[in-house]
Amino acid sequence: MSWRIDVAVQTPAHSALGDVLSYASGVRVTPGALVRVPLGRREVLGVAWAAHQEDAGPAAVELKPIGAVLDALAPLDEAWRDLVAFAARYYQRSLGEIALAALPPQLRDLSAVQLARRLKRKRSDSPPGGVSPCAVALSAEQTEALSRFEAEAGPFLLFGSTGSGKTEVYLRAVAALLAREPQAQALVMVPEINLTPQLEARFKERFGADSVVSLHSGMTNPQRLASWLAAHSGAARIVLGTRMAVFASMPALRLIVVDEEHDPSYKQQEGARYSARDLAVWRGRRESAKVILGSATPSLESWHQSRPAAGDDAGGRYVRLSMPSRIGTGALPRVRLVDMNLQPPKTVLSAALLDAIGQRIARGEQSMVFLNRRGYAPVLACADCGWKSECPHCSAYRVFHKIDRTLRCHHCGFTERVPRACPECGNLDIAPVGRGTERLEEHLGELFAAVRRPDGSAVRIARIDADSTRKQGALESQLAAVHSGEVDVLVGTQMIAKGHDFRRITLVAAINPDGALFSGDFRAPERLFSLLMQSAGRAGRDAAYVSAQGATAEMWIQTHHPQHPLFVALKRHDYPAFAQGELEDRAAAGMPPFAFQALLRADARTQEVAQAFLGAANAAADALAGSDQVTRYPAVPLAIQRVANVERAQMLLESASRAVLQRVLAGWQPLLHELRRTPEGKGVIRWLVDVDPHSI
Ligand code: ADP
Ligand code: ZN
Ligand code: ZN
């Protein structure tokens, strides 16, 4: 008797090999089992997807024999395989690509014997200890949210202000689950690696260090494998992770939390471009696991999907749980708008803001100044001839970094020493234009150079951004310095705006947020609003401290458009008003969440070649059923059209029906593969489909 085993392997993206490869086996291999199979001249890891019994007699095709079965490991269960299959289908990728990317990298290199040995070692570990009781009494809003969570099926949108105690709600929901079902598992997702240490500590404190494992890209391969195995074997009760964790194998999954569900980092932007938030909701339904999406500024998609109040049938299918108040007597910070039209020209920091920061310094409080642009200056320019620090490989300027006197391209990485003189005309007087965090830090240092802290010492200014935190452990130590009070004024990018539970910050300032108001990206206002709300949420988190100081928590915004509805809503902390305005605009324009989008993108050496491919693809779509219900927009260059000497173009597809769009995309995929072999496809370096893209 012989078997044909279909195996998902990591084939190159968009290869014509299809979804699975077939191998011969003398015995049945359970679907979900990890196997090693020959592929070309190599042997690779694969996931057995289906087993078919072959009739005796000559096989139509001679199949290669399957390699070792990693049977020390329990097969990946059907729910997991369904998730992978759904993600592959929905996001137009191959099964193997999603399946293999979802497994820890180290699994690919371990032989069956090595794996068995490792598992044996693991199994001798003692099982985790119990849940530590929590001391805090829940607020009325937390109690109400939790009781509705227990009573209803969800999915839930936990709409809670910054500092309203959302994390405590997650902790209690997990605790209640484990009290009922000690062997159950919970998946808790967070947007960024840099937010996990604090949250991880809170979960470990509550549930014991052995019950909680992390999964994120900042871990070493052995750490990731260990966490993955603990989740897969059921030994770990709680998996805490970033977007990749949505694919963790968790046989007893009963609860999924997506914290800061609006965060753009839930969207994978490389390879298989999936939304971990959306997959979490799908997975929850498939596995009957309850899902909580939490945010102070939900994505407009989730907000639109949620029902306004208990018992209300209007709105979408998510149950909205609201927690508007901050814990304790803490008020949300007062929002102060500085009209920059009334400031002297070239003002960077208004006098009123400097005064407010100065007062905080005098009282020993901390301030945070936020500017979403790193480096010293975004451009270096020659006033004589007009030369600018363009990147020779990209349609973008190189950023001036004064610290090491370099011009660095933030798109392709191309770095050079700053020229002594203008490369075009020899003028010695080339000057930075505009301002990044590095320059802001320097500027603040100058402004407060003569100011003394209460103990007579100098003012301490620190900066946290992608540049300052490049070294392993740098972010942790810089955050620790802020927490322990070694910093008076913290300058940074959005990295400091999110999540951190700073206790002594009473002032947050956004000094130049206007760019996003008039951006070509229709999601920019939504992003800006949530970023500013998040930043505001860093101020006055410790109500007792604020009142003991006799301080008020404040969020300062410098803008040329103080009357803009976004700022008006922000001033009142009124996300619902902002969301309503945005949703009305989106509805009128037929944009998400009232329509569904996908992008086809092509990269080539020239813009013409990239666009010609998209044009041919557009023509090929005419024949597809349902294509008349999908609006196809003309091909255009990307906002940054050239990166590392590659020209990039894209075309947008939009439909009022998600199902129709999906059907058209599925029909299109094989046509696109064929197109690649025609003259129009020849010069294309790569193409990809992005479903539910985040920016267009
Ligand atoms: P969020 O996640 O909504 O921003 P957190 O859960 O981090 O808020 O809570 C903010 C702060 O309030 C944290 O320091 C947390 O320990 C504390 N906290 C949360 N719930 C309570 C409660 N019921 N009583 C006292 N303190 C609480
Ligand atoms: Zn010049
Ligand atoms: Zn570049």
Over residues 353-408, the pLDDT tens digits come to 999 999 999 999 999 999 989 999 999 999 999 999 999 999 999 999 998 999 99
Specify whether the CB–CB gap between 546 and 553 falls below 8 A.
yes
* Ligand that comes closest to the CA of residue 411: 3
Residue 197 pLDDT > 80, yes or no? no
- How far apart (Å, rounded) are the C-alpha atoms in residues 355 and 439? 20
pLDDT, position 494: 87
Q: What is the pLDDT of residues 526-571, one digit of tens each?
A: 999 999 998 998 888 888 888 888 888 999 999 999 999 999 999 9
* Ligand that comes closest to the CA of residue 141: 1
Specify whether the CB–CB gap between 696 and 521 falls below 8 A.
yes
Tell me the pairing of strands 366-370 and 489-492.
parallel
- Under the banding of pLDDT at 50, 70 and 90, the label for residue 312 is low
Residue 11 pLDDT > 80, yes or no? no
* Ligand that comes closest to the CA of residue 292: 1
Q: What is the pLDDT of residues 507-521, one digit of tens each?
A: 999 999 998 888 888
Q: Is CATH 3.40.50.300 the classification given to domain 140-323?
A: yes
Angle (CA) 588-92-290 rounded to 5° is 75
- How far apart (Å, rounded) are the C-alpha atoms in residues 430 and 383? 7
Give residue 135 CA to ligand 1 midpoint distance, Å: 12
Q: What is the pLDDT of residues 641-660, one digit of tens each?
A: 999 999 999 999 999 999 99
pLDDT, position 662: 96
Mean pLDDT for 78-104 is 94
The reported pTM is 0.92
Binding residues for Zn(2+), as ranges, are: 382, 385, 391, 394, 409, 412, 422, 425
pLDDT, position 200: 86
If one compares 310 and 303, the residue with the highest pLDDT of the two is 303
pLDDT, position 124: 42
Torsion of CA 56, 58, 59, 61, to 10 degrees: 170
2-122, superfamily in CATH? PriA, 3(prime) DNA-binding domain (3.40.1440.60)
Give residue 662 CA to ligand 1 midpoint distance, Å: 41
Q: What is the pLDDT of residues 28-76, one digit of tens each?
A: 999 999 999 998 888 999 999 999 988 765 555 688 999 999 988 999 9
- How far apart (Å, rounded) are the C-alpha atoms in residues 377 and 444? 15
Phi and psi torsions of 685, nearest 5°? -75, -45
pLDDT, position 118: 77
Residue 216 pLDDT > 80, yes or no? yes
Give residue 419 CA to ligand 2 midpoint distance, Å: 11
Q: What is the pLDDT of residues 124-168, one digit of tens each?
A: 444 448 566 667 889 999 999 999 999 999 899 999 998 899 999
Task: For ligand 1, say whether the CB of 501 is within 6 Å of any of its atoms.
Answer: yes
Report which secondary-structure segment, H or E, holds 290: strand 290-295
Q: Which CATH class is domain 596-691?
A: alpha beta
Q: To test ligand 1's pocket by mutation, which of 139, 168, 321, 504 has the most ligand atoms within 8 angstroms of CB?
A: 168
Percentage of the chain lying above the pLDDT 70 cut:
94
Give residue 414 CA to ligand 2 midpoint distance, Å: 21
- Radius of gyration of the chain measured on its C-alpha atoms: 27
State the average pLDDT for the chain.
Answer: 90
Residue span(s) of the chain under CATH 3.40.50.300 come to: 140-323, 334-374+436-586
Q: What is the pLDDT of residues 245-275, one digit of tens each?
A: 999 999 999 999 999 999 999 999 888 899 9
- Under the banding of pLDDT at 50, 70 and 90, the label for residue 12 is low
Task: For ligand 1, say whether the CB of 163 is within 6 Å of any of its atoms.
Answer: yes
Atom of ligand 1 nearest to the CA of 136: 24
Residue span(s) of the chain under CATH 3.30.70.600 come to: 596-691
If one compares 247 and 216, the residue with the highest pLDDT of the two is 247
Atom of ligand 1 nearest to the CA of 169: 6
- How far apart (Å, rounded) are the C-alpha atoms in residues 204 and 236? 12
Task: For ligand 1, say whether the CB of 162 is within 6 Å of any of its atoms.
Answer: yes
Task: For ligand 1, say whether the CB of 54 is within 6 Å of any of its atoms.
Answer: no
Fold (CATH) for 334-374+436-586: Rossmann fold (3.40.50)
